[in-house]
A and B are shown apart, each in its own frame.
Chain A
């Protein structure tokens, strides 16, 4: 049963530290999405890639967030420096097109 995997599952860090989250999409999926979920804002799209090329990162704070796909099996989301307001659950999802997305289990980030 193919699944999207994400690491780490939980991360607690202090303000100002760099945080890197990793995602392994389902093999063969060419579209990868990064979302952030908070109680206040719900689920928000941060960025997405198709065939490893970034298509849209308009939902991402550019000054501290960056997203990359070094290869077809790895997507990364980096926050530097992290702030308490970045505390959220970060989901990666993959699919063959926008309509059908399979979500990973998420990374629960707490910034103190």
Chain B
């Protein structure tokens, strides 16, 4: 079983729509949590950290549920530039474990 599992998608949404997706992690000793964004043929870049209390960064909202061991990301008012693969990332014993990614395509 993989340490971090994500729905690969793709999620195809129109501009302005809201899109949300989750990931689950298997190791309850996981210390910290993140969403990274990866554009096609580019390197991953940190999008945001995820805190137990939930956090927002502009149109992006991340939530963590430690009891159920899942993390979510919600994108409001989608833009064409949000089209990317979103990687769920978990810090387990000082090493980052990456999910396979959820692909989001925003269409005009």
Contacts and interface: CB of A to CB of B under 8 A. Distances in A.
Contact of A105 (B32, B42, B46, B100): B42
Given A48-B95, A91-B43, 15 more contacts: A42-B99, A43-B87, A43-B98, A44-B98, A45-B95, A56-B95, A91-B44, A98-B91, A99-B32, A99-B34, A101-B46, A101-B96, A103-B43, A104-B43, A105-B42
Interface string A14-49: 000000000000000000010000000011110010
Nearest to A33: B96
Instruction: Choose among B34, B46, B96, B97 the residue with the greatest number of A CB atoms under 10 Å from its CB.
Output: B96
B22 to A, nearest CB: 17
Interface SS, A side: strand
Q: How large is the interface on B (under 10, 10 to 19, 20 to 34, 35 or more residues)?
A: 10 to 19
Interface residues of A, number: 17
A101 B89 CA distance: 11
Given A99-B32, A99-B91, A45 B96 contact: yes
Interface string A82-100: 0000000001000000111
Interface of A: 33, 42-45, 48, 56, 91, 98-106
Given A100-B46, A103-B45, A42 B96 contact: no
B38 to A, nearest CB: 9
B46 A42 contact: no
Nearest to B4: A42
B4 to A, nearest CB: 9
